[in-house]
């Protein structure tokens, strides 16, 4: 096969404790999946069906353990927000996946940030427009190495947290997810055929807020490690 331009690099996330990488196919994200965060976004956290948006696969910024990786403050915003999330890495694809079979489709888990241009997101939301400009920009998905489910198990509880310059900003527990990971996979797979390599960002707990250049943003999920970025 002769390509008229060189193919883009394959976006990939390192696997924790290994020299291997997880090639990323798509990034799906769940909106408003913790009640307290739904309230702070001005929504009723009643258990409506989950909704989804996407980021491009090359929005990921792999962050090595123990390092602080530079992430550029994005253009066209004055309200750039952090959201710490549990990320699910799909290892076996499928459609119409049953809730009680969903864990069999998970390859591993990671902690990641769904970075957001909140001013653009709210403006688009209020006008009924798609969210891409607010959510799907370059470097909008920093992520720690993926922990194989064989090592982590399938976490249903555990602390999720984020600090900015050492100050605690977000804190919650995976048991507070409105839609559990298996329920999210089951629901998403009704709308999209999932494939190995898909990532699902499962939503953020309360306490989202702005970051500025120079800030160090650190987040973690109990049992899955943590990641740190510097906004530059
Ligand atoms: Mn989010």
Q: What is the pLDDT of residues 6-65, one digit of tens each?
A: 999 999 999 999 999 999 999 999 998 998 888 888 877 677 888 999 999 999 999 999
Pairing label, strands 60-62, 141-143: parallel
Å from CA of 20 to ligand 1 middle:
27
pLDDT attached to residue 48:
82
Q: Which residue has the higher pLDDT, 82 or 49?
A: 82
Q: Average pLDDT for residues 85-113, to the nearest whole number?
A: 98
pLDDT attached to residue 47:
74
Å from CA of 17 to ligand 1 middle:
27
Å from CA of 1 to ligand 1 middle:
39
With 80 as the cut, is the pLDDT of residue 225 above it?
yes
Q: Cα(46)–Cα(232) distance, rounded to whole angstroms?
A: 38
**Taking all residues of the chain, what is their mean pLDDT, rounded to a whole number?**
96
pLDDT attached to residue 40:
86
Q: Output the pTM of the full model.
A: 0.97
pLDDT attached to residue 15:
98
Q: Average pLDDT for residues 68-74, to the nearest whole number?
A: 98
pLDDT attached to residue 21:
98
Is 182 buried (19+), middle (13-18) or exposed (0-12) by CB count in 10 A? Answer: buried
With a pLDDT cut of 70, the percent of the chain lying above it is: 99
pLDDT attached to residue 35:
85
Hey, what CATH topology would domain 12-231 get?
Fumarylacetoacetate hydrolase; domain 2 (3.90.850)
Read off φ and ψ for residue 20, nearest 5 degrees.
-85, 165
Pairing label, strands 216-221, 225-231: antiparallel
Å from CA of 5 to ligand 1 middle:
34
Å from CA of 39 to ligand 1 middle:
14
Å from CA of 24 to ligand 1 middle:
18
Å from CA of 4 to ligand 1 middle:
36
Å from CA of 114 to ligand 1 middle:
5
* CB-CB contact of 193 with 94 (8 Å): yes
Q: What pLDDT digit, counting tens, does each position of 106-159 carry? A: 999 999 999 999 999 999 999 999 999 999 999 999 999 999 999 999 999 999
Å from CA of 122 to ligand 1 middle:
13
Å from CA of 3 to ligand 1 middle:
36
Closest CA to 156 of 197, 198, 82, 102: 102
Å from CA of 217 to ligand 1 middle:
16
With 80 as the cut, is the pLDDT of residue 75 above it?
yes
Written as six digits, the tokens of 194 are 């999932």
Cβ count within 10 A of residue 6: 6
pLDDT attached to residue 43:
79
Instruction: List residues, by chain if needed, whose CB lies under 5 Å from ion ligand 1.
Output: 83, 114, 204
Å from CA of 204 to ligand 1 middle:
5
Sign of the torsion formed by the C-alpha atoms of 169, 113, 50 and 14? negative
Å from CA of 218 to ligand 1 middle:
16
- Where exactly are the structural domains of the chain? 12-231
Å from CA of 176 to ligand 1 middle:
15
């Amino acid at each position: 096969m002769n390509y008229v331009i060189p193919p883009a690099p394959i976006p990939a996330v390192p696997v924790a404790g290994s020299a291997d990488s997880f090639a990323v196919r798509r990034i799906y994200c769940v909106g408003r999946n913790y009640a307290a965060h739904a309230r702070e976004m001005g929504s009723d956290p009643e258990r409506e069906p989950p909704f989804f948006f996407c980021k491009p696969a090359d929005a990921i910024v792999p962050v090595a353990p123990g390092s602080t990786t530079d992430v550029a403050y994005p253009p066209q915003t004055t309200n750039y927000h952090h959201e710490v999330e549990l990320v699910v890495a799909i290892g076996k694809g499928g459609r119409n996946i049953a809730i009680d079979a969903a864990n069999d489709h998970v390859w591993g888990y990671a902690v990641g940030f769904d970075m957001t241009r909140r001013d653009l997101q709210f403006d688009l939301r209020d006008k009924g427009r798609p969210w891409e400009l607010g959510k799907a920009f370059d470097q909008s998905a920093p992520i720690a190495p993926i922990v194989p489910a064989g090592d982590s198990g399938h976490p249903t509880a555990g602390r999720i947290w984020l600090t900015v310059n050492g100050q605690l900003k977000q804190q919650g527990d995976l048991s507070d997810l409105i839609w559990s990971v298996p329920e999210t996979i089951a629901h998403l797979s009704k709308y999209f055929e999932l494939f190995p390599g898909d990532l699902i960002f499962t939503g953020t707990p309360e306490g989202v807020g702005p970051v500025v250049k120079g800030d160090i943003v650190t987040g973690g999920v109990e049992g899955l490690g943590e990641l740190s970025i510097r906004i530059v």
